[in-house]
Chain A
Amino acid sequence: DTEVTQTPKHLVMGMTNKKSLKCEQHMGHRAMYWYKQKAKKPPELMFVYSYEKLSINESVPSRFSPECPNSSLLNLHLHALQPEDSALYLCASSHAGTGEVEVFFGSGTQLSVL
């Protein structure tokens, strides 16, 4: 199994809603990532988890709250988002460590904030 599974594939939410994005992998990877991608722009790193601990937060607003309940799961909790937060949210995973490491991406959650 070399997949990173993200749910839901599409999400529409209002600015007062609370929702969560979910990500799952069963490749034994101990590094997991959240990226945000606006249309026709490259992906931007948001958060990095290494061995289930948050290691990098790229100055992301607190309305985005990541969580890594175990080594296979990664969540992104959303609250009080703005319309400009509408984007494709990508989850990724990889082995931790040095050398040749492939990062696997999920298909993403297309989020629309109304």
Chain B
Amino acid sequence: LAKTTQPISMDSYEGQEVNITCSHNNIATNDYITWYQQFPSQGPRFIIQGYKTKVTNEVASLFIPADRKSSTLSLPRVSLSDTAVYYCLAPTSGSARQLTFGSGTQLTVLP
């Protein structure tokens, strides 16, 4: 299982773009990089997933360099409701997804 490392916490202000970088040096060839968001007392919510280069959806972008040893989640124009813990994962590829959560990044958006 690929071990991921990300900052413990980040602060931002409303309307700013937030970039959270994750390191996954031992990612396997078949692993996808996946980001989840979690609010207190709720289950994690899928944000975005990618294999290489750039992926964009309606809520975020994911940048993955060619060596795939790191990735950056970009949240455009954050609001107070984006305050949450963000997890970077590289789940194993197989008959089931064995998600191993690291410490995550506590993002606090300030007014």
Contact = CB atoms under 8 A, between A and B. Distances in A.
Given A42-B87, A42-B101, A100-B32, A94 B96 contact: yes
A50 B95 CA distance: 7
B95 A97 contact: yes
Interface string A1-44: 00010000000000000000000000000010100000000111
A101 B97 contact: yes
Nearest to B48: A102
Nearest to B85: A42
Chain A facing B: main interface SS: strand
A64 interface: no
Contacts of B81: none
A90 interface: yes
B96 A50 contact: yes
B32 A110 contact: no
Contact of A31 (B30, B46, B49, B96): B96
A103 B102 CA distance: 16
Interface residues of B, number: 25
Contact of A43 (B45, B46, B95, B101): B101
Interface residues of A, number: 31
Contact of A44 (B34, B44, B51, B101): B101
Contacts of A106: 43
A30 B104 CA distance: 27
* 10 smallest beta-carbon distances between A and B, as pairs: A105-B43, A42-B101, A31-B96, A50-B95, A50-B96, A98-B93, A96-B95, A102-B46, A48-B96, A43-B101
27 contacts: A4-B43, A31-B97, A33-B97, A42-B87, A42-B101, A42-B103, A42-B104, A43-B99, A44-B101, A48-B96, A51-B95, A55-B95, A56-B96, A88-B41, A92-B99, A96-B95, A98-B30, A100-B32, A100-B49, A101-B91, A101-B97, A102-B46, A102-B49, A104-B46, A105-B43, A108-B43, A110-B41
Interface of B: 30, 32, 34, 41-46, 49, 51, 87, 91, 93-104
